[in-house]
Structure 1
Amino acid sequence: MPRYEFRCRTCGDTFELSRPMAESSAPASCPAGHDDTVKLLSAVAVGGSTAAPRAQAPAAGGGGCCGGGGCG
Structure 2
Amino acid sequence: MPTYAYRCRECTDTFEVNRPMSESGAPATCPEGHADTVKLLTTVALTSSAGGQLPAGGGCCGGACGCGG
Q: Which residue of 1 aligns with 2:27?
A: 27
Partner of 1:16, secondary structure, is: strand
Q: Percent identity?
A: 59
| TM-score normalised according to structure 1 size | 0.63
CA distance in 2, matches of 1:21, 1:37: 18
- The Cα RMSD (Å) is 2.2
| TM-score normalised according to structure 2 size | 0.66
Count residues in correspondence: 54
Q: Which residue of 2 aligns with 1:44?
A: 44
Post-superposition shift, 1:49? 3.8
CA distance in 2, matches of 1:44, 1:37: 22
Unaligned runs of 5+ in 2: 58-69
Q: Which residue of 1 aligns with 2:7?
A: 7
Unaligned runs of 5+ in 1: 57-72
Partner of 1:22, secondary structure, is: helix
- Computing the radius of gyration from Cα coordinates, the structure with the larger value is 1
